[in-house]
């Protein structure tokens, strides 16, 4: 069989040339892409001074473009280099005279057993031999467009030479570009204008401030050219963006802009001349605040009292001179230091002890009133914007006790054997330790004698607040009618070095005869009875007014409602007047009891009977009837004034009047009782006077009969 090795060698050589041409074409395209990416990156960064993030995006984009070009034009193409048959077809397409003999010879040479395919081995060999000679005369490499390949290779080489030449021509710019756009370092392009922001205010390009504070940005121009205008370009975390012109000071070459009330983090840069600064950030930090706070007031040693926790919501606390104040609190953030600032202008500064990561404490002994607040500084170096909590501690001298002294249940007229109920209430800054009552007796214009002193039991004292109730017996004081009594209470504290004593306002009463007291009590009873009788007449008029409504009810339900409501209001007003009479009668009974005009049990029985009747009349009968009138007014549209509804309301008035007349009867009996007691007292007094007169006449007769000593002698003899 004819040997095709020479043809196959030529095809193999052609395959290598094709692969080389494809590689050169692809490499040229990659070189062009590299040149495009570098130039684009250089131009954008040089003129716009891109931020690191933008340069990073450009770098990744360029690398992606180069990888894509290498894959698309080199790797993919090199993987598609044609084999023998495609190359043979390409050669025959170039050289038409071969007339498919090359591809036919290659394919027939691969047939190992022509006879199995019904082909003559001799004919196959003749066909192959017929193709060999023409193929040998053809130059396969002519199918490659060497001019285009050379052109692409030159373009790629030119791109690389441009890059290399540019780098050598301006090594500084090439180096800066490489460091900024490949190594992503933050170095600056050479320029004529440089704007510098205070490094102390923006360390590392970041300023940290308290949320809500203001911040002044000050920049200086340090380059060759100083711009007349500098623009600050900013955006915050909420998407707010803006461009503002900074205030310019030409002489100092400084530019200024103030951010007001910063509520969100801000990023900004400056633009001026050929300068575009790196971005600066304003970060917000929460300042420390006082989360917990307590104030404890301590007392001087003599007080003998434990320190007390102060409720600041109740007002400015007070402390005694010689005591102390302990301030304790906790902050919202870890603390570096804490101070107590005193004075209106924050003139005083006292260091507080940091007792924990967030807690602080201080004890001080102020000698005068102090206004103070808390200043915190956290580990971030931030301070609380205000001195909250701000508080005032008033330093006071120990004051005398406050004293209230009053009589209870007794009037201004008493008899010689009466008892005066009293209430004494004393309060002190520290402690009330003792007290007494002094009774000063006087009559007419005579000088007041030495007062009677009634000591109070020491067991009832010893605390800051003392409240006592007691009875002052007048019998042992040997009083006579016509005398005036002035009662004072005294309370004493344990202040040092000198205790304070307080004297109350006086309670003044007049000592009267039993007859004078009875006359006064009877007068007041009669007055209350007359007032009650007037209330009965008023209740009768109220009933009659309702009967008029029944006889001629209004046709308009709204008018009916108004008139029934007025009835209920008047009924309640009568109830309030009954309450006043009830209080007045109770006072009369108490004066009868405390003046001991008669048997205590009997007076108490009468008191309970009349007061209970008045209370039941007011709280049950009258209140129930007033409620019924209110309910009737609310249902005025369906109220049957002439029917059962009116009957029930009329019965209510009758029940009220019946109860009032029953109470009046008891009040009349009380007047009779008082009259009987007075007559009984008068009878006893009359008998006493007769006995005294008889004894006086007897003594006079003895004296006339026996002489001045006869009375004594008679007694001795007897």
**Ordered DSSP codes for 1-37:** ----HHHHHHHHHHHHHHHHHHHHHHHHHHHHHHHHH
Residue 163's pLDDT is what?
84
- How many other CB atoms are found less than 10 A from the CB of residue 349? 11
d(CA 384, CA 376): 6
> Is the domain of 467 the same as that of 583?
no
> Is the domain of 498 the same as that of 524?
no
Mean pLDDT of the chain: 83
Distance of CA 182 to the CA centre of its chain: 54
Query: Based on C-alpha coordinates, what's the Rg of the chain?
Result: 60
Residue 98's pLDDT is what?
55
Q: Beta strands 231-236 and 266-272: pairing type?
A: antiparallel
Distance of CA 617 to the CA centre of its chain: 52
Any domain includes 717:
no
Any domain includes 307:
yes
Residue 636's pLDDT is what?
87
pLDDT for residue 141 is more than 90: no
Least confident range from 364-368, 468-472, 561-565, 696-700: namely 696-700
pLDDT for residue 104 is more than 60: no
Q: Beta strands 215-221 and 254-259: pairing type?
A: antiparallel
> Is the domain of 117 the same as that of 200?
no
**Which of helix, strand or coil describes residue 286?**
coil
> Is the domain of 416 the same as that of 500?
yes
Residue 44's pLDDT is what?
87
d(CA 162, CA 171): 13
Higher pLDDT, 691 or 371: 371
Q: What is the DSSP letter of 301?
A: G
Boundaries of domain holding 313: 290-396
Which of the listed residues 462, 495, 512 is the one where a domain comes to its end? Answer: 512
pLDDT digits (tens, 9 = 90+) for 336-375: 999 999 887 666 889 999 999 999 999 999 999 999 999 9
> Is the domain of 24 the same as that of 61?
yes
Any domain includes 175:
yes
Query: What's the Cα-to-Cα distance from 362 to each of 250, 273, 327, 365, 641, rounded to whole Å?
Result: 52, 57, 5, 10, 78
Q: Give the domain CATH number at 251.
A: 2.60.40.10
Q: Which whole number is the average pLDDT over 248-258? A: 92
pLDDT for residue 710 is more than 80: no
Beta strand extents in 211-323 (DSSP E only) = 215-221, 231-236, 241-245, 247-249, 254-259, 266-272, 275-276, 280-285, 290-298, 308-309, 318-320
Residue 711's pLDDT is what?
46
Q: Name the residue with tokens 């590392």.
A: 204
d(CA 266, CA 270): 13
Q: Give the domain CATH number at 447.
A: 2.60.40.640
How many separate domains does the chain show? 5
Least confident range from 96-110, 408-422, 615-629: namely 96-110
pLDDT digits (tens, 9 = 90+) for 392-407: 999 998 889 999 999 9
**Which of helix, strand or coil describes residue 329?**
strand
- 230 and 270 in contact (C-beta within 8 Å)? yes
**Band of pLDDT at residue 186, cut at 50, 70 and 90:** confident
> Is the domain of 560 the same as that of 658?
yes
d(CA 329, CA 316): 18
**Band of pLDDT at residue 685, cut at 50, 70 and 90:** low
Residue 718's pLDDT is what?
36
Q: Which whole number is the average pLDDT over 245-258? A: 92
Q: Which positions ≥6 away from 219 have C-beta within 8 Å?
A: 195, 196, 197, 230, 246, 254, 255, 256, 270, 277
Residue 712's pLDDT is what?
43
Q: Which whole number is the average pLDDT over 127-151? A: 62
d(CA 442, CA 477): 12
Highest mean pLDDT out of 92-106, 175-189, 408-422 = 408-422
- 377 and 337 in contact (C-beta within 8 Å)? yes
**Band of pLDDT at residue 446, cut at 50, 70 and 90:** low
pLDDT for residue 232 is more than 80: yes
Bridge partners of residue 295, in order along the sequence: 327
Residue 683's pLDDT is what?
45
H or E segment at 542? Answer: helix 514-551
- 402 and 500 in contact (C-beta within 8 Å)? no
> Is the domain of 222 the same as that of 304?
no
Sheet of 318-320: strand order equals 318-320, 390-396, 370-378, 335-342, 348-351
d(CA 32, CA 335): 61
- 108 and 90 in contact (C-beta within 8 Å)? no
Q: Which whole number is the average pLDDT over 664-685? A: 64
pLDDT for residue 677 is more than 60: no
The token pair at 593 is: 């009891």
Residue 678's pLDDT is what?
54
> Is the domain of 143 the same as that of 41?
yes
pLDDT digits (tens, 9 = 90+) for 611-670: 999 999 999 999 999 999 999 999 888 888 889 989 999 999 999 999 999 999 888 877
Any domain includes 712:
no
Q: Which whole number is the average pLDDT over 49-69? A: 88
pLDDT digits (tens, 9 = 90+) for 321-334: 889 999 999 999 99
**Which of helix, strand or coil describes residue 146?**
helix
Any domain includes 718:
no
d(CA 517, CA 530): 20
Query: What's the Cα-to-Cα distance from 33 to each of 54, 151, 178, 385, rounded to whole Å?
Result: 20, 16, 17, 58
> Is the domain of 476 the same as that of 528?
no
Residue 715's pLDDT is what?
44
Any domain includes 703:
no
- How many other CB atoms are found less than 10 A from the CB of residue 185? 12
Distance of CA 283 to the CA centre of its chain: 26
Q: Which whole number is the average pLDDT over 660-686? A: 68
CA angle 259, 265, 270 (to 5 degrees): 55
Residue 157's pLDDT is what?
87
Any domain includes 716:
no
**Which of helix, strand or coil describes residue 90?**
helix
Residue 522's pLDDT is what?
85
Bridge partners of residue 471, in order along the sequence: 421
> Is the domain of 579 the same as that of 650?
yes
- 202 and 270 in contact (C-beta within 8 Å)? no
d(CA 658, CA 669): 17
Q: Using a cut of 0.85, tell me whether the model's pTM lies above it.
A: no
Residue 515's pLDDT is what?
84
Any domain includes 691:
yes
pLDDT for residue 107 is more than 70: no
Higher pLDDT, 140 or 395: 395
Could you give the angle at which helices 146-169 and 5-48 cross, rounded to 10 degrees?
30
Closest among 103, 137, 138, 144 to 17, alpha carbons compared: 144
DSSP string covering 173-239: HHHHHHHHHTS----PPP-S--EEE-TTTSGGGEEEEETT--EEEEEEE-SSS--S--EEEEEETTS
- 494 and 433 in contact (C-beta within 8 Å)? yes
Residue 124's pLDDT is what?
54
**Band of pLDDT at residue 123, cut at 50, 70 and 90:** low
> Is the domain of 341 the same as that of 462?
no
Residue 21's pLDDT is what?
76
The fraction of the chain above a pLDDT of 90, given in percent, is: 39
Closest among 577, 521, 534, 550 to 652, alpha carbons compared: 550
Which of the listed residues 267, 285, 303 is the one where a domain comes to its end? Answer: 285
Bridge partners of residue 420, in order along the sequence: 472
Residue 15's pLDDT is what?
64
pLDDT digits (tens, 9 = 90+) for 583-597: 999 999 899 899 988
> Is the domain of 336 the same as that of 446?
no
Which of the listed residues 396, 413, 440 is the one where a domain comes to its end? Answer: 396
């Amino acid at each position: 069989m004819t040997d095709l090795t020479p043809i196959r060698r030529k095809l193999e050589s052609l395959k290598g040339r094709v692969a080389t041409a494809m590689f050169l074409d692809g490499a040229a395209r990659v070189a062009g892409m590299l040149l495009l990416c570098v130039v684009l990156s250089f131009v954008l960064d040089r003129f716009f001074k891109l931020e690191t993030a933008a340069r990073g995006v450009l770098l990744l984009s360029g690398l992606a473009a180069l990888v894509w070009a290498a894959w698309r034009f080199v790797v993919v193409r090199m993987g598609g280099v044609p084999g023998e048959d495609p190359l043979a077809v390409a050669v025959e397409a170039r050289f038409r005279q071969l007339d498919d003999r090359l591809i036919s010879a290659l394919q027939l040479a691969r047939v190992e057993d022509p006879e199995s395919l019904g082909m003559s081995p001799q004919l196959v060999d003749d066909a192959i031999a017929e193709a060999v000679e023409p193929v040998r005369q053809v130059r396969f490499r002519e199918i490659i467009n060497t001019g285009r390949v050379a052109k692409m290779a030159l373009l790629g080489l030119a791109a690389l030479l441009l890059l290399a030449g540019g780098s050598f021509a301006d090594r500084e710019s090439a180096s800066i570009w490489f460091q900024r756009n490949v190594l992503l370092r933050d170095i600056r392009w050479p320029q004529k204008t440089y704007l510098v922001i205070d490094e102390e205010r923006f360390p590392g390009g970041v300023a940290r401030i308290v949320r809500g504070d203001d911040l002044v940005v000050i920049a200086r121009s340090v380059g060759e050219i100083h711009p007349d205008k500098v623009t600050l370009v900013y955006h915050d975390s909420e998407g707010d963006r803006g461009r503002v012109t900074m205030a310019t000071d030409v002489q100092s070459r400084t530019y200024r802009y103030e951010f007001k009330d910063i509520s969100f983090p801000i990023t900004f840069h400056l633009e001026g001349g050929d300068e575009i600064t790196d971005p600066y950030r304003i970060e917000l930090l929460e300042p420390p605040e006082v989360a917990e706070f307590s104030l404890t007031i301590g007392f001087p040693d003599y007080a003998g009292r434990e320190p007390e926790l102060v409720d600041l919501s109740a007002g400015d606390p007070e402390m005694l001179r010689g005591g102390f104040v302990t301030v304790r609190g906790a902050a919202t953030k870890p603390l570096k230091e804490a101070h107590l600032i005193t004075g209106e202008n924050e003139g005083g500064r006292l260091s507080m002890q940091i007792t924990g990561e967030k807690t602080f404490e201080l004890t001080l002994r102020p000698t005068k009133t102090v206004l103070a607040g808390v200043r915190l500084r956290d580990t971030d170096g931030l301070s609380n914007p205000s001195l909250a909590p701000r508080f005032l501690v008033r330093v006071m001298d120990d004051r005398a006790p406050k004293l209230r002294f009053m009589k209870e249940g007794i009037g201004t007229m008493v008899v010689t054997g009466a008892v005066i109920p009293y209430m004494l209430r004393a309060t002190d800054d520290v402690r009330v330790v003792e007290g007494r009552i002094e009774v000063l007796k006087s009559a007419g214009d005579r000088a007041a004698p030495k007062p009677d002193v009634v000591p109070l039991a020491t067991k009832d004292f010893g605390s800051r607040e003392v409240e006592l109730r007691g009875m002052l017996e007048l019998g042992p004081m040997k009083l006579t009618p016509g005398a005036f009594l002035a009662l004072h209470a005294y309370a004493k504290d344990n202040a040092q070095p000198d205790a304070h004593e307080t004297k109350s306002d006086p309670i003044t009463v007049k000592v009267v005869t039993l007859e004078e007291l009875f006359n006064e009590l009877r007068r007041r009873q009669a007055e209350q009875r007359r007032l009650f009788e007037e209330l009965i007449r008023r209740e009768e008029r109220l009933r009659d007014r309702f009967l008029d409504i029944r006889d001629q009810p209004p046709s308009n339900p709204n008018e009916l409602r108004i008139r029934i409501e007025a009835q209920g209001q008047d009924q309640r007003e009568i109830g309030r007047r009954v309450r006043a009479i009830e209080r007045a009668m109770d006072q009369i009974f108490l004066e009868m009891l405390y003046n001991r005009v008669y048997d205590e049990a009997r007076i108490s029985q009468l008191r309970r009977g009349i007061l209970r009747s008045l209370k039941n009349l007011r709280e049950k009968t009258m209140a129930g009837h007033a409620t019924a009138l209110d309910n009737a007014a609310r249902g005025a549209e369906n109220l049957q004034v002439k029917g059962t509804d009116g009957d029930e309301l009329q019965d209510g008035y009758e029940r009220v009047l019946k109860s009032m007349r029953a109470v009046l009867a008891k009040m009349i009996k009380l007047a009779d009782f008082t009259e009987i007691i007075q007559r009984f007292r008068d009878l006893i007094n009359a008998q006493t006077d007769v006995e005294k007169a008889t004894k006086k006449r007897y003594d006079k007769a003895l004296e006339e009969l026996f002489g001045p000593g006869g009375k004594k002698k008679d007694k001795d003899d007897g």
